[in-house]
Amino acid sequence: MTKIFVDGKAYEVKADQSLLQACLSLGLNLPYFCWHPALGSVGACRQCAVKQFRDEKDTRGRLVMSCMTPAADGTRISIEDAEAAAFRKGIIEGLMLNHPHDCPVCDEGGECHLQDMTVMTGHDYRRTRFPKRTFHNQYLGPLINHEMNRCIQCYRCVRYYREYAGGHDFDAFSSRSQVYFGRYQDGVLENEFAGNLVEICPTGVFTDKTLKRHYTRKWDLQFGPSVCVHCGLGCNISAGERYGTLRRIVNRYNGEVNGYFLCDRGRFGYEFVNSAERLKQPLQRQDGKLQPISKARALEALAGLLADPKKVIGIGSPRASLEANYALRALVGADRFYTGLSASAARLTAVALEMLRRGPARTPSLGEIERADAVLILGEDVTNVAPRMALALRQSVRQQPMRKADQLKIPRWLDHPVRELAQDQKGPLYIATPAATRLDDVATETYRAAPDKIARLGYAVAHALDAGAPDVAGLSEAERSLAARIAEALKSAERPLVVSGPSLNSEAILQAAANVARALSAAGRAPSLSLTAPECNTLGVTMIGGGSLADAFQAVKSGSADTVIILENDLYRRASARAVDEFFSSARHIVLLDSVTTPTVQKAELVLPAATFAESDGTLVSSEGRAQRFFEVYPPVGEIQSSWRWLRDIMMAAGRREAAAWQDLDAVVASVSDGIPALAAVAQAAPSASFRLAGAKIPREPHRYSGRTAMLANINVSEPKPPEDSDSSLAFSMEGVFAQPPASLIPFFWSPGWNSIQSVNKFQEEIAGPLRGGDPGVRLLEPSAAEPRAYFTPASEPTSGSAGEWLLVPLYHIFGSEELSRLAPGIAELSPQPYVALNPEDANALGVQEETSVTLSLESVSRTLPVKLMPGLARGLAGLPAGILPIEGSGLPAWSRISRA
C-alpha cells in the first residue's frame, strides 16, 4: 500500500498501479479513452491529465497524464485543478471536431463512453466552423457494424484486436488526422473475439449488428444476470430483453472467469431464443401429426403415460440446468435417470471428473489460465471448443517475457514499453492437435498427429518429467526431443498448465494429460489441469450421475422400460441416426421437453415447450467446476415454462405429492444440494430469493426504462400488474434502490455519469480485480489431499486401420459446431458447409482437388462430401466438421475408406 494525495485528501492505494487506476479504484471520476484495464496504458489520448505537485509547498504543479504516472508513495495530484480541467475539456473539444452529428441514430447513444466523458469534462458547445472529415464504412461481416465517421482515434480497437486478441486482418491505415481503422478491404473480421470491439470502442464505430436489427437503447432493456450456454466455460453475460424478445448480450464482468471479454459465439449466438424454431405450446401427436393442445390436456395425457412408473426412464441433458436434470431424476427415480451423454462422452467426462477430484492438479479458472506461464495443450482446438480460453491462453504466453520488464522495473501496466521489450518473445505454449489451430501463431512448437500419437507424446512428456511415469515405446527421435523440451519448459515454469479435453474422444489423451500433471507434481510443481467440457452443464449432469445414452437404449431394448421422457436433448446429435431411430421405434411413448424444434421433436408423441436460458433460472457447472446461477431475463410467454416446472407439474399430475414443495427455485436448489452430496454447495452460487437490497428487490430495468404505460396499451389501455418473480430477488421492474447488489445478482452495469459498460470500474474492489463481495459462482471441485492416484499406463501400440483406410477426426468450428447458436442467423451465416478436410499432399496422392466430391464409406453408410484442402492437417487423417454432419456408427474418430465420387 502507498499513500497518495488527491486534491489535498490522503488515500491509501495499492502500489504498482498507475494514478488513473488508483483514482478510479478510489471511485473518483477521471475521464479517459485510450486506457483500458485489460490493455494497459499508452498515453495516447491525453484525456486523463491531472496536476501533479512536487510536495505540499508546490502550488504551481505540472500537468501529467495520470495513466502514465505511477501511484508512487507520497504523490500529490489534483483532479479538480482549473488548469487540468480546462486541459481535459480542450482535449474533448479537439476529439469532437470531426465527430458527426448523429447520436440520435447511433447505436452507442445512451451507453457511449464518449458521451459520458464529454459530459464529465463539461464541453458542450461546438466552436469550429470548418468542414468535418468523413470516411467510407466497411462491411465487417454479419455481426459487427462499422461507422467510421464516429472515430476519435484512441487506438483501443487496433490494440485490442492485434495485440490482445492476436488478429491480423485489422489495422490502422493512412496518416495524421485521417487515420482509419478497418480491414484492408471489406470482409468478415476473422478473429473469433472481434465482437469485443463493440465494448472496447469508446464510441459508436463498432456496434452490434444483431442488435441493430431490433434496436433498443440500453436504458430500455430489461436485463438478467445470466451465464452463457454455448460452451462449457460458463462466461458471465448480461442479457437484455424488450417487447418479449431477447435483444442482445453484453459481457458481465467476472474477475475469475471471463473478465472483460466474451467470444463471438457467446455474444451473438443468443438469437436462437427469438428463432422461428422455438416451441411455444404443448404438442401431441394425433394421426401422425403434432397438434397443439392445452397444458391441462398435456398433463392429463402424461399422467396416463406414467401410470406404470416402473416402465418410465428419463434422459437428461448437458445443456439443461442442474435443477431441470434433478427434477427429471426425481420424477423417474435415480436408477432410471440417464445423463443424456453419449456413451463415449459420458465415459470421458466421468474420467475427467475423477481426475480433477483426485488431483494433484487443480482445475484453474480462466483468470488463472491467463496467468499460467507454461502451457501444454493436448488434443484440443481450444479456439473452437472453448473459445474464451484461447483468449486467456494468448495472454499466458506474455507471462514469461513480462518478467524481463519486472527486472527492469517497468510496471506491467505500461503497455507499450513492456511489449517493445518483449518484441516477439513468447512464453512456452506447446500445442499437440490433429490440425492447425488458431493459437499456432503464438505457439512455441506444434505437433500434428492422430489422437493416439498425441496421447503418446503426452506420456513421453510425463516420463521426461518424472522417471517414475511409464514410458512409451516407438517414438521417433524428433518426438522424444520435443517431449524433452516440453518437459523442460513445464518444469522451469512457476505456474505450469496442461489443457486437454474430450474433443477427440480419446481416453488416452486425458490419461496422458493427467500423467503430465501428476509428473509435474512429483517434480515439485503445482500444476493446473484444465479439461474442456463440450456443453454448458456437461460436468453438472455428470455430477448428478446416471447411465449414458447407450444404457438408456439398452433399457428400452431389453424391455425394462417403454416410456421415455427426454429433457432438452436432441438425441440425433449424440448417436447415429440408426441407433436413435431403433430406440424410438422400440419405445412406446416418447415425451420431449425442449425449447427448439430438433429432429427428435419429429419422433415425440408429446412435446412440452421449455424455456431457454433467457426465460428460466437455474444453475450450471462450468468446466472449471464452478457452479453459477443464471436468472430469468423476462418471464416466459404463454405455455412456455422452465423444464423443472414442467417436471413438477407432471409429478403433481401423476399424484406425486412430494413435488408440491417445489413452488420456487430455492426449493428445487435445496433439493439438489440435499440430494446430491457433490452438489451440496450449489445453494451458495447466489443469494436466495428472500434476499433484499435495502428492503427492496433488485430492479432488472434501468431507472430510465421507458414506455411502461404505452408498450401494451394497444392490447389494453389498462396496464397489467408487472409480473412477479418468486424465484429470485430480482424484480421485473425499474423500482428499487440504487446500491450495488451481490456480484451474482448484478443485472447490468451502470453508475451515475457512467452509462457505458466502463461503469464496471465502479463495481470492482479494485480496477480489474474481483467484483465487490467476491466474484460470482462457487467452486465445487478441489483436489483431495489424499495420495494421488497411480500413473496411467499407455497402450503398447497406437491403433491403426487396415491398409487404405483414413482416420476420420472431428474438426470443431466456433460457428456451427454448437447446437443452439446455429439457429442464430448471424452465426449460421458464418458456419461452414459440410466438407471432408485432407492434407494437400494426401489429396494429391488421392488425385483430388479442392471441391472435388469424394465418398467416405463408414461402417455401412457412405457419404459424399466436397474436399477441403487443409495444410495444417496431419498426414493420413481426414477431418469432418463436428456438429454439422450427422453421427455415423459410434462417432469419430473412425477409420474409413475415401474414394472419388
Partner 1 sequence: MLSILRTLWNIFLHAFQRRETVQYPEEKPYLPPRHKGRIILTRDPDGGERCVACYLCAVACPVACISLQATEDETGRRYPEFFRINFSRCIFCGYCEEACPTYAIQLTPDFEMAEYHRQNLVYEKEDLLMSGPGKRPGYNFWRVSGVKIGGKDKGEAENEAPPVDLHSLLP
- The site for partner 1 (CB under 8 A) is made up of 100-105, 109-110, 129, 131-137, 147, 149-150, 173-176, 178, 180, 212, 214-217, 219-220, 243, 704-711, 713-714, 716-718
- Cα–Cα distance between 212 and 206 in angstroms, integer? 11
| Least distance (Å) between residue 754 CB and partner 1 | 17
- Look up cell 406404470; give the residue: 308
Is 38 or 734 the residue whose CB approaches partner 1 more closely? 734
Reduced 3-state DSSP string for 438-475 = CCHHHCCEEEECCHHHHHHHHHHHHHHHCCCCCCCCCC
| Least distance (Å) between residue 133 CB and partner 1 | 5
Give the three cell numbers for residue 185. 478491404
- Cα–Cα distance between 376 and 519 in angstroms, integer? 13
Q: What is the distance, to the nearest Å, from the Cα of residue 807 to the centroid of all Cα atoms in its chain?
A: 30
Give the three cell numbers for residue 811. 474438426
CA atoms within 13 Å, Cβ hemisphere of 69: 24
| Least distance (Å) between residue 763 CB and partner 1 | 23
| Least distance (Å) between residue 443 CB and partner 1 | 34
Closest CA to 633 of 666, 611, 662: 611
| Least distance (Å) between residue 569 CB and partner 1 | 35
Closest CA to 156 of 30, 250, 35: 35
Give the three cell numbers for residue 460. 513421453
- Cα–Cα distance between 692 and 737 in angstroms, integer? 10
DSSP assignment of 764-779: BSSTTSPBTT--S-EE
Is 137 or 602 the residue whose CB approaches partner 1 more closely? 137
| Least distance (Å) between residue 756 CB and partner 1 | 16
Is 179 or 846 the residue whose CB approaches partner 1 more closely? 179
| Least distance (Å) between residue 269 CB and partner 1 | 23
Amino acid identity for residue 755 in this structure: N
Is 183 or 388 the residue whose CB approaches partner 1 more closely? 183
Contacts of 465 (CB under 8 A, 6+ apart): 487, 490, 491, 516, 519, 520, 522, 523
Strand-pair partners of 869? 838
Q: Residue 408 burial (CB < 10 Å; 0-12/13-18/19+)?
A: exposed
| Axis-axis angle for helices 343-358, 549-557 (nearest 10) | 130
| Least distance (Å) between residue 713 CB and partner 1 | 4
| Least distance (Å) between residue 92 CB and partner 1 | 18
Is 220 or 725 the residue whose CB approaches partner 1 more closely? 220
Is 206 or 260 the residue whose CB approaches partner 1 more closely? 206
Is 175 or 802 the residue whose CB approaches partner 1 more closely? 175
Is 178 or 294 the residue whose CB approaches partner 1 more closely? 178
DSSP assignment of 594-635: ESB--GGGGG-SEEEEBP-GGG--EEEE-TTSEEEEE--SSP
**Where on the phi/psi map is residue 310: left (φ > 0), alpha (ψ -120 to 50), or beta?**
alpha
Is 690 or 718 the residue whose CB approaches partner 1 more closely? 718
Give the three cell numbers for residue 373. 506461464
| Least distance (Å) between residue 395 CB and partner 1 | 32
Q: b/e string for 782-799 if b means 16 or more Cβ within 10 A?
A: ebeeeebeebbebeeebe
For residue 870, give the DSSP letter.
Answer: -
Report CA torsion sign: 733, 738, 743, 749. positive
Beta strands in 604-725 (DSSP E): 606-609, 618-621, 626-630, 698-699
> What does DSSP say about strands 222-227 and 236-242: parallel, antiparallel, or unpaired?
antiparallel
**Which DSSP helix (H) or strand (E) runs through 326?**
helix 322-332
Is 212 or 310 the residue whose CB approaches partner 1 more closely? 212
| Least distance (Å) between residue 640 CB and partner 1 | 22
Is 106 or 596 the residue whose CB approaches partner 1 more closely? 106
| Least distance (Å) between residue 138 CB and partner 1 | 10
Closest CA to 71 of 414, 399, 416: 414
Is 333 or 707 the residue whose CB approaches partner 1 more closely? 707
Is 214 or 357 the residue whose CB approaches partner 1 more closely? 214
- Cα–Cα distance between 429 and 373 in angstroms, integer? 9
| Least distance (Å) between residue 109 CB and partner 1 | 7
Beta strands in 158-258 (DSSP E): 171-173, 180-182, 206-208, 222-227, 236-242, 245-251
Is 716 or 802 the residue whose CB approaches partner 1 more closely? 716
> What does DSSP say about strands 836-838 and 877-881: parallel, antiparallel, or unpaired?
antiparallel
Is 188 or 734 the residue whose CB approaches partner 1 more closely? 734
Give the three cell numbers for residue 666. 430455492
| Least distance (Å) between residue 438 CB and partner 1 | 28
User: Cβ(254)–Cβ(236) under 8 Å?
Assistant: yes
| Least distance (Å) between residue 243 CB and partner 1 | 7
| Least distance (Å) between residue 131 CB and partner 1 | 4
Give the three cell numbers for residue 64. 501529467
Is 148 or 351 the residue whose CB approaches partner 1 more closely? 148
